[in-house]
Structure 1
Amino acid sequence: MTHGAAPALIAEGLRKVFATKGRAAPSQALDDLSITVAAGALTALVGPDGSGKTTLLRLAAGLLRADSGSLHVLGIDVAKSPQAVQDRISYMPQRFGLYEDLSVQENLDLYSDLHGVPADLRRERYARLLEMTDLGRFTKRLAGKLSGGMKQKLGLACTLVRSPELLLLDEPTVGVDPLSRRELWQIVQQLVEAQHLSVIVSTAYLDEAERCAQVFVMREAKLVAKGTPAQIRDNAKDLCFIAKPGQGLHARTLQARLLDAPACIIDAVPEGGEVRFIRRPQADIQDIAALLGGAPMEPVPARLEDGFMVLLRSQVSPSREPAAPTPVAVAANEGEVVIEVKDLVRKFDDFVAVASTSFDVRRGEIFGLLGPNGAGKTTTFRMLCGLLPASSGFLQVAGVNLRHARAQARAKIGYVSQKFALYGNLTVAENLSFFGGAYGLRGARLRQRIGAVLKEFELGGQEDAPSGQLPGGFKQRLAMATGLLHEPEILFLDEPTSGTDALARREFWRRITALAAGGVTVIITTHFMEEAEYCDRIVIQDAGKLLAIGTPHEVRARAASAPGQRLNMEDAFIGIVQQARDHDRAPAVAAA
């Protein structure tokens, strides 16, 4: 932090309301928000979807005007002089505008031209940015051919072609794998330490906020809490425990049992084959012991995420928290293989996206596909869904050979894409009716299923709201409701929690646990490594090859450098991928 420097941002009484089209009520984005952001430091904005984080960043960047209140950035009144602010800051939105038909170098040149960066400064600045982002080897590659993580790093480099005094980052690591996420944060921290740059970042990852000097917690357009990470952590001090499930009990099952007792438990999440939970301060220890069913528990230090969950849950009384979802029963035959993959290959011209991959998935299993951006997992996922034909190999889903009868298999599967893929101009009810008809539901059966999913996903009262204007968390619920209308045997989820907050992820996974308990098979891709702990088995891919397969415990054990070493899934993932890459590089180095 730069001692004695004026604050990077001062907001006082900020209010912002967005008018909405159609039948939806106006949306309150910021409500009497007052914060002060120190200069020369990393500052995090965290909070559930729709809490106002993006709106605040867009106001700070001079792209929106507040309805009332004052906002000063670098000492400048943004409402009076937005251009003066924009001349001194850089802003990277969630969807940064790279030109995908231009190369890495051409994108850098274009943004330098737009920002008026003098030619004599470019050579030195490019060299520094390309070294920092490790993109120096790829200057001639088209931006559209980069992996997701590389695109984010290029976006950050383009944002930094001029030297800003303040950098605004709106969820820069959404959709980015753990390896690339770690690299992006190394770049940002290097900028803060070397150049004393002021950085404000909104993030859905609470471990990222842990790295910041200041944290502001927002909810429903208001400021809930502010302080250092340690001060936010203190909200959960002496309330955090780890419990080890008994033999034969999956961690997610114990977690679900704890979450279904909100009078005793604030939060619970699988971690390393155990369950980390936060008890309510007034909860009776005997009641908690009964919930654990004899599983031993021990206290653990609080994390920032624990403090965050205590803050958010404290605003929701236990009686108002979501009810436990009802499992959806499907055909029995637990243990039956419902997806069989043998020597699966997918080529795009001469490029091998998936190389000779084999595995199977059993009924009622939660099966995770993990891998860095560009690893081949999305291609594998799309082949399993029947959205992309395989180049060669055997692929059978729900008893149907996908190489010959993809349409027949699709009737037995549900699909939720990473990006909201419903019709934004249709209401919630209209989307459900349309997709229900597409799945072959009619009349009383369609009405019954729409009523059931509206209740299950707590969408009651939103029936007439245009889908495109829903907050992110509600969009996710609607996408899930639509994918489950026809009660599929197999549910495919493509990064369904990307960009969602910790609270929404807990609710999402409580539903998935109930579905699996009812016999629904779930195939999921995710970049949140904590979510791999919910899976029965996981696959890790990179460069089109299968690197590891097994239970989360087996994968963590494989990555450990010494017997008994305790790794979290993120460290295990990075270790396995890095080891494979080092192995692949070794012959090339030896040949050189």
Structure 2
Amino acid sequence: MSDIIMIQAHHLTKQFPARPSSPAVTALSTLNLTVKKGTLTALIGPDGAGKTTFMRLVCGLLQSDSGSLSVCGYDVQQSPQAVQDRIGYMPQKFGLYEDLSVMENLTLYADIHSIPPDLRQKHFRELLDLTGLSPFTARPAGKLSGGMKQKLGLACTLVSTPDLLLLDEPTVGVDPLSRRELWHILHTLSEEKSLTVLVNTSYIEEAEQCQYAYILHKGQLLADGTPESLLQYARGRCYAVRVPQGMPPRFIQSWLLDDRHVVMDAVPEGSQVRFTVSSRQLPNHLLLQNYLPGAVITPVSPRLEDSFMILLRKAGSTEEETPGMPSLPKVPPAISGDTIIEAHDIVRRFGSFVAVDHTSFSVHKGEIFGLLGPNGAGKSTTFRMLCGLLSASSGTISVYGVNLRTARARARSYIGYVAQKFSLYSTLSVYENLCFFGRAYGLAAHKLQERIETVAGQFHLNNCLSMAAGSLPGGYKQRLSMAAALLHDPPILFLDEPTSGIDPLARRTFWRQITGLAARGTTIVVTTHFMEEAEYCDRIMIQDRGRLIAIGTPSAIRHQGGDSPTMNEAFIHIVETGRQKEDS
């Protein structure tokens, strides 16, 4: 590690003035931050922490209100072009040209950066080998999987051979296999090329791979240090409790989180629930004892995410930012044996390409059913067929006893749908969006107002009803999407990567809401690339190359994945084993 400073921020402050649809915001407040040459450094924090604002300041795309910021030895405000000539910036929505091939995209970015023709061939070959895209140079970017698009975006960002690489949420919406490949590339660049990398990520386990991490909250620095040194905040505060057989782990998680003054965080993890407490002594009056008398609680080693959640809770990310949680029964309701979704031998072809290949499964009433798979595996196609957004080429799908092929409109009336990307009307207010979608669902005026009041309270939206939907933080946009999907009180809710790009705190809130919905009998079908979220599901189905390769409870999937310690590792094991068998 070099002592050369690549980024130096001192008392950096950035404010955004009030607008008609949103109040004034202090995005960064007297921030001090240093990034040394050749390091992998992570920025982590909840929505609205100021991470993206900081990156845009580093790039010279925004100007600070006070403080100083030097990048690659230049004052950004004095010499923005000199800085931009030395950095590579890959924003969340990188500008690939989907009609152009992989090679044409690289050539275009080489033209933009005036790379001499005699240097391109060798440089392109190195980038294609590094990213594993050499076999796909003629493929249009729009035909690449999500993970391959991210790798192409990274290659295009590296065309100019920058001294500093800035990555804003590079792995959002990317499956575990592709995330592992992308991080292997980053480690190679850092270790072999001494490239300095600053990455903003929602995956706290990714920050653990960095040499240094900064934790931001509401524009202020909560803590910084090596991932190992940051564990100090969680040491002696982490425990696990085993889940009784037949009880969904998400119920125990919710019971623990109800003990707000004691429990800082809780997550399902295999056959147990992992949790952190507010002091280094486990209280005897844990609310959990009311539900599980005699529960055996054991200490576990801390992780960076434990420290992250403790710091956020102490900083005030508590009740005022968390929607009121639904109360759960002391005894979890048994999942009905009633089949509410049935897919029989479904196939979907796009020309000669088979996206889903003879797949059969069923989903029961009140069940949380997870659809998992690598990018391009067919899970999104399966999901869209179940929603009625796409017709099956052959096979049958019934929803709530209604055949999707012969009575699609009727079947859709039983469905609520939350898209992966925010799909509401950004210029309309929260209230106007709810009114619009309520009318689209055919709700009468009096019923619509009643339902708006219900969902606005349920998802803690009452204080932002007059705000433009597009101005909401990511977590609130997700709440609004959920509220709109549930206006007509559907028995089935489809969630397409609903937590993509939102922070762990918002994800906890989301899953507690889902637990409450399922407890009241709503059937949930969800796709996700956060493998730890699969632990909340009653059953999981994994697809790859269009085929069903695993289905079962989280415990069964872990077992099939070689009794892996994490769901992430189990997923990778199952997919890689399946491919080896198919290719042999």
TM-score, normalised to structure 1, is: 0.95
- Residues 335, 364 of structure 2: 8 Å contact kept: no
What residue is the counterpart of 2:26 in the other structure? 28
**Aligned counterparts of 1:33 and 1:376: Cα–Cα separation in 2:** 44
**Aligned counterparts of 1:117 and 1:273: Cα–Cα separation in 2:** 55
**Aligned counterparts of 1:266 and 1:256: Cα–Cα separation in 2:** 12
Shift of 1:164: 1.0
Q: 1:163 to 1:66 in 2, by over 3 A?
A: same
Shift of 1:231: 2.0
**Aligned counterparts of 1:317 and 1:149: Cα–Cα separation in 2:** 32
Shift of 1:236: 0.7
Q: 1:53 to 1:442 in 2, by over 3 A?
A: same
Residue from 114, 132, 135 that aligns with 1:134: 132
Q: 1:190 to 1:467 in 2, by over 3 A?
A: same
2:321 maps to 1:323? no
Shift of 1:585: 2.0
- Residues 237, 282 of structure 2: 8 Å contact kept: no
**Aligned counterparts of 1:240 and 1:130: Cα–Cα separation in 2:** 43
2:396 maps to 1:394? yes
> Given residue 113 of structure 2, which amino acid in structure 1 is its aligned partner?
H
Moved more, 11-20 or 344-353: 11-20
Q: Within 5 A, what are the aligned runs for 1:115-514?
A: 115-281=113-279, 285-288=283-286, 290-291=289-290, 292-316=292-316, 320=320, 322-326=323-327, 334-514=336-516
- Residues 30, 52 of structure 1: 8 Å contact kept: yes
Aligned residues: 578
Shift of 1:248: 2.0
**Aligned counterparts of 1:414 and 1:326: Cα–Cα separation in 2:** 22
Shift of 1:401: 0.3
What residue is the counterpart of 1:80 in the other structure? 78
CA displacement 1:302-329 (0-9 Å, x = unmatched): 000000000001123866454322579x
| Secondary structure in structure 2 of the residue aligned to 1:468 | helix
- Residues 46, 203 of structure 1: 8 Å contact kept: yes
Give the share of equivalent positions with the same residue, in percent.
56
- Residues 263, 283 of structure 1: 8 Å contact kept: no
| Secondary structure in structure 2 of the residue aligned to 1:420 | coil
Moved more, 203-212 or 440-449: 440-449
Q: 1:575 to 1:163 in 2, by over 3 A?
A: same
| Secondary structure in structure 2 of the residue aligned to 1:390 | coil
CA displacement 1:220-252 (0-9 Å, x = unmatched): 111111111112211011000111111221111
Shift of 1:22: 2.8
CA displacement 1:525-552 (0-9 Å, x = unmatched): 0000000000000110011111111111
**Aligned counterparts of 1:239 and 1:304: Cα–Cα separation in 2:** 13
> Given residue 367 of structure 1, which amino acid in structure 2 is its aligned partner?
F
- Residues 12, 29 of structure 2: 8 Å contact kept: yes
> Given residue 443 of structure 1, which amino acid in structure 2 is its aligned partner?
A
What residue is the counterpart of 1:45 in the other structure? 43
| Secondary structure in structure 2 of the residue aligned to 1:8 | strand
Gaps of 5+ in 1: 587-592
Shift of 1:197: 0.9
**Aligned counterparts of 1:555 and 1:395: Cα–Cα separation in 2:** 25
- Residues 332, 519 of structure 1: 8 Å contact kept: no
- Residues 402, 409 of structure 1: 8 Å contact kept: yes
Q: 1:454 to 1:327 in 2, by over 3 A?
A: farther
CA displacement 1:365-419 (0-9 Å, x = unmatched): 0000000001110010001001111111010011110011111011111000010
**Aligned counterparts of 2:240 and 2:353: Cα–Cα separation in 1:** 46
2:522 maps to 1:520? yes
**Aligned counterparts of 1:284 and 1:556: Cα–Cα separation in 2:** 29
Shift of 1:12: 1.5
What residue is the counterpart of 1:65 in the other structure? 63
- Residues 451, 487 of structure 2: 8 Å contact kept: yes
Q: 1:424 to 1:109 in 2, by over 3 A?
A: same
Shift of 1:332: 10
- Residues 177, 373 of structure 1: 8 Å contact kept: yes
**Aligned counterparts of 1:366 and 1:316: Cα–Cα separation in 2:** 31
| Secondary structure in structure 1 of the residue aligned to 2:33 | strand
Q: Within 5 A, what are the aligned runs for 1:495-574?
A: 495-560=497-562, 565-574=563-572
What residue is the counterpart of 1:585 in the other structure? 583
